[in-house]
Amino acid sequence: AVERTLSIIKPDAVAKNVIGQVYSRFEGAGLKVIAARMMHLSRGEAEAFYAVHKARPFFKDLVDFMVSGPVMVQVLEGEGAILKNRDLMGATDPKKAAPGTIRADFADSIDANAVHGSDAAETAAVEIAFFFPAMNIYSR
């Protein structure tokens, strides 16, 4: 089925100037960018976006990192977009990410891991709505 997923190019990858290279991987896999915005998240915004991880020991480091610089946020649309994007990204820990994945090629650590992608249809809907009102999504 055609799905939508929320993608974030994190501060490390934006600082490395690889937004275009990451977009090329999305496009090469048949994923279409149907909404995008660059933003520098506030601490409150980052905490709200990652609220599901609030109780985890890595929460503070995660938020500190996500507010350390601008991010590029996009909605990707395509056949099986959620799993396709997760395959392109590779494992959360870049040390475990398969060769040729975004995280294997561009990420430095489990926090500075280059990209975020929704993990399921329900979270994708919530994450897309967090950043984009329906009127700012341009499908077909």
**List of residues contacting ligand CMP (CB under 6 A):** 53, 58, 62, 92, 110-111, 113, 116
Min CB(15)–ligand CMP separation in Å? 15
Question: What is the SS3 assignment for 47?
Answer: helix
How far apart are alpha carbons 84 and 63 in whole angstroms? 26
58 is in an annotated binding site: yes
Min CB(53)–ligand CMP separation in Å? 6
How far apart are alpha carbons 114 and 94 in whole angstroms? 9
92 is in an annotated binding site: yes
Query: With respect to ligand CMP, which residue has the nearer C-beta, 36 or 115?
Result: 115
Closest C-alpha to 26, from 9, 50, 48, 45: 9
Query: With respect to ligand CMP, which residue has the nearer C-beta, 116 or 140?
Result: 116
Paired residues of 92 in beta bridges: none
| Catalytic residue status for 116 | yes
- Strands 2-9 and 115-117 come out as antiparallel
Query: With respect to ligand CMP, which residue has the nearer C-beta, 53 or 95?
Result: 53
The catalytic residue among 66, 107, 116, 132 is 116
Q: How far is CA 115 from the centre of its chain?
A: 4
Binding-site residues for ATP, in ranges, read: 10, 58, 86, 92, 103, 113
